Amino acid sequence: MSMDERKKRILQAIIDDYIDTAEPIGSRTIARKHELGLSSATIRNEMADLEEMGYLAQPHTSAGRVPSDKGYRLYVDQLMQVYDLQDDEIEKIKTAMELHINELSQLIRQASAVLSRFTKYTSVAVASQMKTSTVKAVQLVPIEADKAMVIVVTNAGIVKNNIVKTADQLRPEALVMISNALNDKLGGLSVEKANRKISSGLVSELEMELGIRGELFASILSCLAGCINQIDNTEVYVEGTTNVLNHPEFRDIIKAKEFMSMLDEKTSIGRIVFDASDSEGGIIIRIGSENDLSDIKDCSLVTTNYNIANTFIGTIGLIGPTRMEYPKVVSSIGYIRKFMNREIGRFLGLDIDNDL
Amino acid sequence: MSMDERKKRILQAIIDDYIDTAEPIGSRTIARKHELGLSSATIRNEMADLEEMGYLAQPHTSAGRVPSDKGYRLYVDQLMQVYDLQDDEIEKIKTAMELHINELSQLIRQASAVLSRFTKYTSVAVASQMKTSTVKAVQLVPIEADKAMVIVVTNAGIVKNNIVKTADQLRPEALVMISNALNDKLGGLSVEKANRKISSGLVSELEMELGIRGELFASILSCLAGCINQIDNTEVYVEGTTNVLNHPEFRDIIKAKEFMSMLDEKTSIGRIVFDASDSEGGIIIRIGSENDLSDIKDCSLVTTNYNIANTFIGTIGLIGPTRMEYPKVVSSIGYIRKFMNREIGRFLGLDIDNDL
DNA sequence: ATTAGCACTCGACAAGGCAGAGTGCTAACA
DNA sequence: TGTTAGCACTCTGCCTTGTCGAGTGCTAAT
């Protein structure tokens, strides 16, 4: 039995309908609603074939068919029709993203929120893998006689700061000296290297060069190390969790609860999304059991990476029932991705100008 | 008809049971489970009285009674027995709060999360009303030739920063001058006053004093204004939304959805929580219709303020069905409040030491 | 190869019946 | 006079039953 063109068209029709209605689809429905020029009986036979081939499943005898994960896979790979965002939809996204962005994380969160509101699914954004980031600037700011703020800026525009208690004897001028020395030593290093450098004798190195007693600024260095470690922390933003309640597959409150608890585990969902992301600019679709975690074996994940120039910054995606509106989801994510890349570039001052 | 002691004990028994079981309570249940030395018939008569007086309600004839808002009010005011946290519970909270706190907002979020996880209700924390904050330090940090970071620190330890594009001609030394001048001018001012000062001719004032052309640093000032405005932004943290799904009053998915959507409106729930907060150290309980917003007329809100010395910083609380475990909730919030106050003090370097 | 027809299956839904928990009322009791 | 026992009544939840509609597989005719 082979997968001929007719079977594909029937499968497509079934999946389209099922995505729409969430009800098992019967042969008559297809015969009526789609102009395939076939009777319900013929379609019935084809459907039996498709089931045997594993593309469809039957909840019970004498119900209609529902797509299997394998069916969805064929659908997203070959059958579904590209959905072009309408002008007004693009406008809607654009205005929703219109916001005074002050921090990179704000942009990411905003994008995540817009995506989930627009698609009515749950969005997950991971700002991760800052391991590739490099330290751009280190600065010490005196705040009070015995307190200073340590600030680290990375090339990706991430800013971390921390207040540290300093020795009373440290005068502001000394702070400036230390600050400059730190910039010299750490500027341009990757986060990992900077960390290693701090923990391997930077104190005594500076002690010699600056002529300041090490114990006076040791606390500053350990605080700095803390900041740098924070950079490496992957942040996970989940938006629109309540959207799942709109989908009939989560009508059962226990299912809904499971789903939401799973999303509350930010780190694990972050890992899943991150692991799902792949290579460069593509949009990755993971359907049901294709996902590693069994918790989401009834869900699909559509993700993409956002980045700047060639630096990978993070992943953003949507999660929903396997019965997802793939065409719309894919184009939405594609658009948001482009939008984010442009905004991030703009935010960091790289004037990349591509039209949207 | 008066509210004698016996009626109170019966009411207490009913509410205790109802909080436990979420089922309407009948006279026989009370007679059996509580040692009141009364028959079900007597209790029945008393219950009829309590209903007439408005403390109880009946879902329908021939069902048991449920407490009304008025009943809960009497309960929390006079009847409920103080719940003392067990040693192991305190330990649990303490270890959960054990965390390297780097930012004030992190502490608040953490406290909120712990509270919701411990009580199984939904927690809301508002870090708000920074209007009373004053500017402690302003700092400009050069990042690249034509970019600088503007940093503002307040007396409450809030830090905001922003990157700004500067004129090429501004040398780092000029930045230091401007920075110092800004500290002079704005240090100690309230957020509002600082804002007003910036917008009312600070540019020309500095131009004169420093001998630097105003247009060179106007962008810095507007960026600074942006930072200061951000300080004023109230942040709202909601944790444990999925907890509501555990309570039978939200078994209906529509109710659950309503509740969650309401919580998604961060600003409005923030306002409600904030409005509910009152005066100083007390714990405020708002039961059902006592709340201003009709959206939560089936919910109770238990809130308290956290602060440092005498400066009000924000509000934290729990939201759940009116059928709440008030005794446990109240003592949990009370404990978290003390804990936060101490940690905040410690974080800001005021070594207040009170045992917990 | 396709289609019409038919018998069969299964879930959804409404109607009816029953058991259990609770009430209000009345009359008896201490 | 307050308390209690007893009884008739009511309402919900649950289970059973019957019916309807959508869907299927199979067979025979086209």
* Contact yes or no for B51/B59 (Cβ under 8 A): no
Question: How many structural domains are present in chain A?
Answer: 3
Q: Does residue A226 share a domain with residue A238? A: no
pLDDT at position A104: 77
**Cα distances (Å, whole numbers) of residue B323 to B14, B27, B30, B187, B327:** 12, 19, 18, 49, 12
Helix (H, G, I), strand (E, B) or coil at A162: strand
* Contact yes or no for B130/B231 (Cβ under 8 A): yes
Round to a whole number and report the distance in Å from the CA of B70 to the C1' of D8: 33
Contact A260 B253 (CB under 8 A): no
Q: Which domain holds residue B179?
A: 132-231
Nucleotide in closest CA–C1' contact with B36? D3
How buried is A164 (Cβ within 10 angstroms: 0-12 exposed, 13-18 middle, 19+ buried)?
buried
Interface of A with B in 204-233 (CB under 8 A): 226-227, 230
pLDDT at A351 over 60: no
Written as one letter, the residue type at B338 is K
Query: Is A162 an interface residue toward B (CB < 8 Å)?
Result: yes
Strands (E), chain A: 56-57, 66-67, 122-127, 135-144, 147-154, 159-165, 235-239, 283-287, 299-308, 311-321
CATH code of the domain containing B210? 3.30.390.60
Query: Is B188 an interface residue toward A (CB < 8 Å)?
Result: no
Residue pointed to by tokens 């007390």: B282
Q: Does residue B118 share a domain with residue B258? A: yes
Does residue B331 lie in a domain region?
yes
Residue pointed to by tokens 């072009």: A84
Count of A-B CB contacts under 8 Å = 93
**Set of chain A residues whose Cβ sits within 8 Å of the Cβ of B106:** none
Among B143, B260, B264, the residue with its CB nearest the CB of A153 is B143
B284-302 average pLDDT score: 92
Q: Does residue A343 share a domain with residue A259? A: yes
Tens of pLDDT, residue by residue over B225-270, are: 888 887 777 789 999 999 999 999 998 888 899 999 999 888 888 8
Residues near strand D (C-beta below 7 A) are A 24-29, 40-41, 44, 47-48, 51, 58, 61-65; B 37-39, 41-42, 45, 60-63
What's the number of CA atoms in the CB half-sphere (13 Å) around residue B221? Answer: 24
Higher pLDDT, residue A97 or A162: A97
Q: Does residue B329 share a domain with residue B210? A: no
* Tokens matching residue B215: 């247009």
For chain A, give the longest Cα–Cα distance: 92
Integer Cα distance of B145 and A339 in angstroms: 27
Give which of A24, A21, A11, A32 is closest to A79, Cα–Cα. A11
A230: nearest CA in chain B? Answer: B102
A21-40 average pLDDT score: 92
Chain A closest CA to B258's CA: distance in Å? 9
Range with the lowest mean pLDDT among A40-49, A227-236, B15-24?
A: A227-236
Contact B257 A251 (CB under 8 A): no
Nucleotide in closest CA–C1' contact with B39? D4
In chain B the first and final C-alpha atoms are separated, in Å, by 46
Q: Does residue B239 share a domain with residue B117? A: yes
Backbone angles phi, psi at B162, to 5 degrees: -160, 145
* Contact yes or no for B175/B210 (Cβ under 8 A): no
> For residue A176, what is the enclosing H or E element?
helix A172-186
- Which nucleotides of strand D come closer than 7 angstroms to any CB of the protein? 3-6, 9-12, 21-27
B70-77 average pLDDT score: 97
Q: Does residue B205 share a domain with residue B65? A: no
Contact A142 B143 (CB under 8 A): no
Chain A closest CA to B246's CA: distance in Å? 8
Integer Cα distance of A95 and A232 in angstroms: 32
Instruction: Give B138-191 as a 3 state SS string.
Output: EEEEEEECCEEEEEEEECCCCEEEEEEECCCCCCHHHHHHHHHHHHHHHCCCEH
Round to a whole number and report the distance in Å from the CA of A22 to the C1' of C14: 25
pLDDT at position B298: 92
Query: Is A251 an interface residue toward B (CB < 8 Å)?
Result: yes
What's the number of CA atoms in the CB half-sphere (13 Å) around residue A223? Answer: 25
Contact B253 A257 (CB under 8 A): no
Which residues are CB-contacts of B120 (< 8 A; sequence separation ≥ 6)?
A: B240, B243, B246
CATH code of the domain containing B70? 1.10.10.10
How buried is B218 (Cβ within 10 angstroms: 0-12 exposed, 13-18 middle, 19+ buried)?
middle
Contact A141 B136 (CB under 8 A): no
Other CB atoms within a 10 A radius of the CB of residue A214 amount to 15
A249-269 average pLDDT score: 88
Does residue B356 lie in a domain region?
no
pLDDT at B353 over 60: no
Backbone angles phi, psi at A122, to 5 degrees: -100, 130
pLDDT at B332 over 90: yes
Among A139, A141, A257, the residue with its CB nearest the CB of B137 is A141
Tens of pLDDT, residue by residue over B87-126, are: 999 999 999 998 766 677 888 999 999 999 999 999 999 9
Tens of pLDDT, residue by residue over B55-67, are: 999 999 889 999 9
Of A205, A232, A259, which residue is a domain's last?
A232
Nearest protein residue to nucleotide C22 (CA to C1' distance) is B62
Residue pointed to by tokens 């006592």: B290
Q: Does residue B330 share a domain with residue B315? A: yes
Round to a whole number and report the distance in Å from the CA of B288 to the C1' of D7: 39
Chain A closest CA to B233's CA: distance in Å? 13
Nucleotide in closest CA–C1' contact with B44? C23
Of A79, A108, A140, which residue is a domain's last?
A79
Does residue A144 lie in a domain region?
yes
pLDDT band at A279 (very low <50, low <70, confident <90, very high): low
Nucleotide in closest CA–C1' contact with B43? D3
* Tokens matching residue B289: 């219709």
CA angle B274–B278–B279, rounded 5-degree value: 135
Strands (E), A172-294: 235-239, 283-287
B73-80 average pLDDT score: 96
Instruction: Give B70-98 as a 3 state SS string.
Output: HHHHHHHHHHCCCCCCCHHHHHHHHHHHC
Does residue B14 lie in a domain region?
yes
Nucleotide in closest CA–C1' contact with A45? D25
Give which of B308, B286, B309, B307 is closest to B298, Cα–Cα. B286
Q: Does residue B287 share a domain with residue B302? A: yes
Q: Does residue A62 share a domain with residue A14? A: yes
* Contact yes or no for A135/A252 (Cβ under 8 A): no
Tens of pLDDT, residue by residue over B204-226, are: 888 888 888 888 888 888 888 88
Other CB atoms within a 10 A radius of the CB of residue A3 amount to 14
- Which nucleotides of strand C come closer than 7 angstroms to any CB of the protein? 2-5, 8-11, 20-26
pLDDT at position B119: 97
Residue pointed to by tokens 């409106």: B265
Range with the lowest mean pLDDT among A263-272, A284-293, B147-156, B235-244?
A: B147-156
Of B37, B57, B79, which residue is a domain's last?
B79
pLDDT at position A309: 67
Q: Does residue A178 share a domain with residue A35? A: no
Q: Does residue A113 share a domain with residue A46? A: no
Integer Cα distance of B176 and A151 in angstroms: 16
- The mean pLDDT of chain B is 87
Does residue B354 lie in a domain region?
no
Nucleotide in closest CA–C1' contact with A47? D24
Integer Cα distance of B152 and B158 in angstroms: 8
Does residue A355 lie in a domain region?
no
Q: Does residue A199 share a domain with residue A243? A: no
* Contact yes or no for A202/A221 (Cβ under 8 A): yes
**Set of chain A residues whose Cβ sits within 8 Å of the Cβ of B155:** none
Does residue A91 lie in a domain region?
yes
- The mean pLDDT of chain A is 87
Chain B closest CA to A90's CA: distance in Å? 24
**Set of chain A residues whose Cβ sits within 8 Å of the Cβ of B230:** 102
Other CB atoms within a 10 A radius of the CB of residue A2 amount to 6
Integer Cα distance of A292 and A286 in angstroms: 9
Does residue A207 lie in a domain region?
yes
B103: nearest CA in chain A? Answer: A162
* Contact yes or no for B23/B11 (Cβ under 8 A): no
* Contact yes or no for B151/B141 (Cβ under 8 A): yes
* Tokens matching residue A235: 């942040």
CA B103 to chain centre: 17
A346: nearest CA in chain B? Answer: B165
Query: Is B245 an interface residue toward A (CB < 8 Å)?
Result: yes
Round to a whole number and report the distance in Å from the CA of A3 to the C1' of D26: 24
